[in-house]
């Protein structure tokens, strides 16, 4: 059995017949995808926080943005530990989403409900990406990080959804 020179992990831990370097590259790609999601989350939460009126909503959205930044930092460190350079920035779709925030806000007057709705939908996307990542072959340390962050995304989603739903009345 061969071992990955970068991780020191037996290749058989991932999947039979796959080269350890290919598996490491796949794991790095998965982590880079999550890094983009975290960057998107940070930018999106900050954008929505700028357009909310209620101080408590603004505070929560800014806290979520900071948590996304911290998660991105953790992912960057893990990617470097695995012998690669992290990707920079977020995704094109998130940039379009932020543009939609501006358009929707202009049309609706930037209601707190609308901003929380945008955030909740974005957290749905993030949850989907984390669930997909949890099904991938990742080294134990990367899997532990992804599991921890996935739980944080779920908590964020639930909090944002509850705040949004409370404003429906």
Indicate whether this model's pTM tops 0.85: no
Measuring CA to CA, which residue among 47, 4, 42 is closest to residue 142?
4
- Rounded to the nearest integer, the mean pLDDT of the chain is 82
For the chain, give every domain's residue range: 18-166
- Is the domain covering 18-166 a CATH 1.10.760.10 domain? no
- Dihedral through CA 110, CA 113, CA 119, CA 123, nearest 10? -170
pLDDT in tens, 39-63: 989 988 998 998 899 999 999 999 9
Is pLDDT above 90 for 139?
yes
Sequence length of the chain is 169
Please compute the mean of the pLDDT values over residues 154-163 and round it to a whole number.
96
């Amino acid at each position: 059995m061969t071992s990955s020179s970068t991780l020191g992990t037996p290749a058989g831990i991932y999947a039979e017949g796959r080269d350890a370097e290919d598996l490491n590259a796949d794991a790095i790609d998965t982590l880079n995808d999550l890094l983009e999601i975290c960057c998107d989350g940070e930018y999106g939460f900050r954008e929505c926080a700028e357009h909310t009126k209620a101080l408590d909503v603004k505070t929560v959205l800014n806290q979520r943005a900071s948590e996304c930044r911290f998660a991105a930092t953790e992912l960057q460190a893990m990617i470097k530990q695995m012998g690669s350079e992290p990707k920079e920035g977020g995704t094109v779709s998130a940039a379009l989403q932020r543009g939609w925030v501006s358009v929707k806000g202009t049309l609706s007057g930037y209601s707190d409900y609308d901003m929380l709705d945008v955030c909740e939908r974005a957290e749905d996307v993030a949850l989907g990406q984390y669930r997909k990542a949890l099904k991938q072959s990742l080294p134990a340390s990367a899997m532990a990080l992804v599991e921890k962050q996935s739980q944080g995304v779920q908590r964020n989603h639930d909090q944002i959804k509850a705040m949004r739903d409370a404003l429906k009345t």
